[in-house]
Amino acid sequence: MFTHAQKEEAKDDIAHKSRHAADAIRNGTRRVKDDVSNDIGESVDAVKEDLQDIARTAGRHFRAMANSTEENMAAKIRDNPLQSNLISLAIGVAVGAFLIRR
């Protein structure tokens, strides 16, 4: 059988190996967490950049569309001044009548 000293030595050896295994698991878990965090951070940054590009593109399209609409309206007003004034007068009367009723 084992002597008391051998049992104590085996017990200390098991405790040491257990601590070593726990440290290795902790370190491995920390590395995995750091890797995942980095990957997620990079993915978030990429999505953020894509959304900024989409927003810039949409803004350019919207400005171009607004400018085009403004130019078209200005051209129609120049081409048809009487009709434009009559439409403005009708809108003014309608808004005035609506406000008076309130």
Q: How far apart are the first and last CA of the chain?
A: 105
How confident is the prediction for the chain on average, in pLDDT? 89
**Helix, coil or strand: residue 80:** coil
pLDDT at 102 over 80: no
The four Cα atoms 65, 66, 67, 69 give a dihedral, to 10 degrees, of 80
Q: Residue 80: phi, psi to the nearest 5? A: -130, 70
Q: pLDDT tens digits for 32-71?
A: 888 888 888 888 989 999 999 999 999 999 999 998 998 8
State the CB neighbour count (10 A cutoff) for residue 84: 14
* H-only helix segments in the chain: 4-79, 81-101
Which pLDDT band holds residue 10 (cuts at 50, 70, 90)?
confident
